[in-house]
């Protein structure tokens, strides 16, 4: 099968690789494996890659080995620096990809970074999809995460079966690379605002002597409900801070959202404050904890 894309009438499963199989990348690999895709996977933590073999994934010894002879590569690392290293570092995959290969960029990075990386890939004849995701590993595993796309219609069509396998919530924002990144930053800024707000009100509820679990039960059925607030505060009340979503992620994403806001002269009243809370949490040594740890962080911080 040509690396440029499945021919007309080809079966809907084609060779695909995933570079970076942490919480989200691993969940996507497990989903694809159970659907029969046998994705080629690579992670610097080899145990993470090998753990996916039970789902039918193929754990390979280098990113280059994983990506070559495939039609599409999903890059699912943390930030722009890691993405650049995967593609163009000393062991980068980009020089080894065939023209027409599709690189699916899933990290939350700036729109400018998306466009820069896409331009460099384009000079090699490699196509790019701007494809950040949202919803957490459980939803990535069951195919219900949100997948935001920006890129040419023809490139989307080339890998449509893969996108359909990954999620039943695929939103093609536009053909303009960077627009999916912009959408993700808007979403994550709201998630950050909601999470800081949820942690603040739960800290207040406990200060007022209210039962935290009962309070959350009420909020869950009332106007104050938000998905991220419920998800994280349930864990916080249970004292469960094992990282599903590291504090560093929303700290990074809210900071990127503020950069995007400044680039268009937008100065909202809440985003900057939420970003400052996450930055302060990192400075307090909470980087390795789940962002549910905002609750005890605010309880310690508030007089």
Domains detected in the chain: 16-176 (3.40.50.720), 182-301 (1.10.1040.10)
pLDDT per residue as tens digits for the range 124-139: 999 999 999 998 899 9
One DSSP character per residue, the chain reads --TT-PPTT--S---EEEE--SHHHHHHHHHHHHTT---EEE-SSHHHHHHGGGGT-EE-SSHHHHHTT-SEEEE--SSHHHHHHHHHSTT-SGGGSPTT-EEEE-S---HHHHHHHHHHHHTTT-EEEE--EES-HHHHHHT-SEEEEES-HHHHHHTHHHHHHH-SEEEEEESSTTHHHHHHHHHHHHHHHHHHHHHHHHHHHHHTT--HHHHHHHHHTSTT--HHHHHHHHHHHTT----SSBHHHHHHHHHHHHHHHHHTT---SSHHHHHHHHHHHHHTT-TTSBGGGHHHHHHHH--
Structure tokens that stand for 163 in this block: 């996108």
Q: Note the pLDDT of residue 140.
A: 96
Q: Note the pLDDT of residue 302.
A: 76
Give the model's confidence band at 3: pLDDT under 50 very low, under 70 low, under 90 confident, else very high. very low
- The reply to whether the predicted model has a pTM over 0.85 is yes
Mean pLDDT value of segment 80-109:
97
Q: Note the pLDDT of residue 8.
A: 44
* pLDDT > 70 in the chain, percent: 96
The active-site residue out of 11, 48, 158, 184 is: 184
CA gyration radius for the chain?
20
Mean pLDDT value of segment 272-290:
96
184 in catalytic set: yes
Q: Note the pLDDT of residue 208.
A: 97
Characterize the bridge pairing of strands 58-59 and 40-42. parallel
Give the model's confidence band at 303: pLDDT under 50 very low, under 70 low, under 90 confident, else very high. confident
Give the model's confidence band at 301: pLDDT under 50 very low, under 70 low, under 90 confident, else very high. confident
Mean pLDDT value of segment 46-59:
97
Residue 1 has pLDDT above 80, yes or no: no
- Residues forming beta bridges with residue 17, ordered by sequence position: 40, 73
The residue with greater pLDDT, 212 or 301, is: 212
Burial-class residue 303 by CB neighbours within 10 Å (0-12, 13-18, 19+).
Answer: exposed
Mean pLDDT value of segment 80-97:
97
Across 7-11, 133-137, 207-211, which has the greatest mean pLDDT? 207-211
Phi and psi, residue 159, nearest 5°? -115, 20
Pairwise CA distance, residues 45 & 266, whole Å: 40
Residue 77 has pLDDT above 80, yes or no: yes
């Amino acid at each position: 099968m040509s690396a440029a894309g499945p021919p007309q009438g080809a079966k809907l499963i084609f060779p695909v690789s995933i570079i970076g199989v942490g919480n989200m990348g691993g969940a996507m690999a497990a989903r694809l494996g159970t659907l029969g895709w046998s994705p080629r996977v690579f992670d610097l933590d080899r145990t993470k890659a090998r753990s996916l073999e039970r789902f039918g994934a193929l754990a390979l010894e280098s990113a280059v080995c994983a990506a070559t002879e495939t039609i599409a590569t999903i890059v699912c690392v943390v930030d722009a620096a890691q993405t650049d290293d995967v593609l163009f570092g000393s062991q980068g995959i980009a020089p080894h990809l065939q023209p027409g290969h599709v690189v699916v960029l899933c990290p939350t990075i700036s729109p400018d970074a998306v466009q820069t990386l896409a331009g460099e890939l384009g000079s090699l004849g490699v196509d790019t999809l701007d494809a950040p995701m949202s919803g957490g590993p459980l939803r990535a595993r069951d195919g219900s995460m949100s997948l935001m796309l920006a890129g040419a219609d023809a490139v989307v069509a080339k890998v449509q079966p893969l996108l359909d396998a990954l999620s039943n919530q695929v939103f093609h924002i536009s053909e303009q690379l960077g627009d999916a990144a912009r959408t993700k930053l808007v979403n994550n800024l709201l998630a950050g605002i909601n999470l800081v707000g949820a942690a603040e009100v739960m800290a207040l509820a406990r200060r007022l002597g209210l039962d935290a679990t009962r309070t959350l039960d009420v909020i869950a059925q009332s106007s104050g409900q938000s998905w991220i607030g419920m998800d994280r505060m349930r864990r916080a009340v249970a004292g469960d801070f094992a990282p599903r979503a590291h504090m560093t992620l929303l700290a990074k994403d809210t900071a990127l959202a503020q950069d995007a806001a400044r680039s268009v002269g937008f100065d909202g009243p809440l985003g900057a404050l939420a970003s400052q809370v996450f930055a302060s949490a990192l400075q307090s040594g909470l980087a390795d904890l789940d962002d549910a740890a905002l609750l005890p962080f605010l309880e310690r911080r508030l007089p």
